[in-house]
Amino acid sequence: MTTFTALTTLGDETRAQALGEALEELDPAPVGVGVFELEDGSGLWEVGAYFTDTPDDIALTLMAAAFGAAEFAVSELPDIDWVAHVRRELKPVEAGRFFVYGSHDADKLPVDRIGLLIEAAMAFGTGHHGTTLGCLRALDRLASGGFQGKNVIDVGCGTAVLAMAAAKIWPDMVLATDIDQVAVDVAEANVMANGLDGRVECLEAMGFENPVIHKRAPYDLVFANILKGPLIQIAPDMAKHTETGSLAILSGLLTTQASDVLAAYTAAGFTEVEREEIGDWTTLVLRRA
pLDDT in tens, 215-232: 999 999 999 998 888 999
Cis (ω within 30 of 0) for the bond into 236? no
Q: Does residue 90 surpass a pLDDT of 60?
A: no
According to the model, what pLDDT value does residue 79 have?
Answer: 64
pLDDT tens string 103-145: 878 888 889 999 999 875 443 444 556 788 999 999 999 999 9
Which of the four pLDDT bands, split at 50, 70 and 90, describes residue 40?
low
- For the chain, give the mean pLDDT: 89
Q: Which residues contact 251 (CB under 8 A, 6 or more apart)?
A: 131, 132, 134, 135, 224, 225, 281, 282, 283, 284
Which whole number is the average pLDDT over 258-282?
A: 95
Q: Check whether 266 is labelled as a binding-site residue.
A: no
Q: Check whether 178 is labelled as a binding-site residue.
A: yes
Strand partners, 117: 101
According to the model, what pLDDT value does residue 84 have?
Answer: 52
Instruction: Name the E strands within 55-125.
Output: 73-77, 93-95, 98-101, 114-117
Strand partners, 201: 175
Alpha-carbon distance of 16 to 88, in angstroms, equals 34
DSSP symbol at 173: -
Which whole number is the average pLDDT over 135-163?
A: 96
According to the model, what pLDDT value does residue 82 have?
Answer: 47
Neighbouring C-alpha atoms within 13 Å toward the C-beta of 4: 15
Q: Check whether 132 is labelled as a binding-site residue.
A: yes
Counting residues of the chain whose pLDDT is more than 90, the rounded percentage is 65
According to the model, what pLDDT value does residue 124 have?
Answer: 47
Q: Check whether 195 is labelled as a binding-site residue.
A: no
